[in-house]
Amino acid sequence: MKLDDLVAIDVHTHAEVSCRQEPDEAWQPFEAASAKYFKAGKRPTIAETIAYYRERKIGLVMFTVDSEHEIGARRIPNEEVADAARDNRDMMIAFASIDPHKGKMGVREARRLIADGVIRGFKFHPTLQGFFPNDRLAYGLYEVIAEHKLPAIFHSGHSGIGTGMRGGGGLRLKYSNPIHLDDVAADFPDMTVIIAHPSWPWQDEALSVCLHKPNVYIDLSGWSPKYFPPQLVQYANTQLKAKMLFGSDYPLITPDRWIEDFRQAGFRPEVHEMILKQNAIRALRLDDG
């Protein structure tokens, strides 16, 4: 990344529409329910997302979510996201997503993707992937990530995916309680753990884990900052000001809206630059070259 040219770094954006494969009909009911919940419009392609961020001089971390085991929907290939990052390396980073249920085949994929030199981290969504983060089935993947000292983002808290569907689409919220990440952070101190989103209804658990474990950060994506729990803003202004990261959850929330609301949400002026850019540089090890 050309860090000096960027006004901010968004650590949480989604690859929504593949240019290499047709949409999977198994995912369409979840997408429709999600669009209703988030009041979202047309989903952009990967190329459209990159153009949107380039126009704003905002760096981005992009990933898909591999939920093939729990939902049975075909994922967007990690290689498609990686190729986009390779072509836009001045302002984009690619994370991979591998369903932990893929076991040793997943571990092989992780090693291959890292060896290709573009993937700079990994994305997990315990609710969509149907696993507790501290389940040993995922530890083979964590070992690879920790070996290379890469970050991993974990969805936490409520999930808009499945909300309003019959039985919540069969998805279970219990997997995304951030307290389960305490074990992961303790067992893999060389892996940076990023807890995604305000972790409602478990916000205090997330703050405690982040305060206790040096390798844990929180990204502030998925909500407008004006709705953040007050204790989240309090810790972002004080003890955890160096461990909070700007994330939007684009395209469900735009960085334009997020940043505008952020500047009016009670965050102290001295932490703005840290949260919007500087903390991400450290968490993603971008200053390592």
pLDDT digits (tens, 9 = 90+) for 123-137: 999 999 999 999 999
pLDDT for res 33: 86
Q: How far is CA 264 from CA 38, 96, 127, 258, 274, in A?
A: 22, 33, 32, 10, 16
CA dihedral sign of residues 277, 59, 144, 142: positive
pLDDT digits (tens, 9 = 90+) for 142-182: 999 999 999 999 999 999 999 999 999 999 999 999 999 99
pLDDT for res 23: 82
Task: Work out the number of other CB atoms within 10 angstroms of the CB of residue 2.
Answer: 10
pLDDT for res 120: 98
Q: How far is CA 72 from CA 26, 35, 168, 175, in A?
A: 7, 20, 15, 18
pLDDT for res 289: 53
* C-alpha 111 chain-centroid distance: 20
pLDDT digits (tens, 9 = 90+) for 208-241: 999 999 999 999 999 999 999 999 999 999 999 9
How many domains in the chain?
1
pLDDT digits (tens, 9 = 90+) for 58-101: 999 999 999 999 999 999 999 999 999 999 999 999 999 999 99
Three-state SS string across 268-279, please? CHHHHHHHHHHH
Angle (nearest 5°) at CA 219 between 150 and 172: 95
CA distance 80 to 83: 5
Q: Which residue has the tokens 């952070």?
A: 185
**What's the pTM?**
0.96
pLDDT digits (tens, 9 = 90+) for 15-65: 988 888 888 888 888 888 888 888 777 889 999 999 999 999 999 999 999
Q: How confident is the model at residue 183 (pLDDT cuts 50, 70, 90)?
A: very high
Structure tokens at 180: 């389960």
Helical ranges in the chain per DSSP H:
28-38, 46-56, 78-87, 103-115, 126-129, 139-147, 180-187, 203-212, 230-237, 255-262, 269-273, 279-283
Q: What residue numbers bound the domain in which 244 lies? A: 3-288
CA distance 10 to 8: 7
Q: Which helix (H) or strand (E) holds 63?
A: strand 58-63
CA distance 255 to 237: 21
**Which CATH number do you get for residue 110?**
3.20.20.140
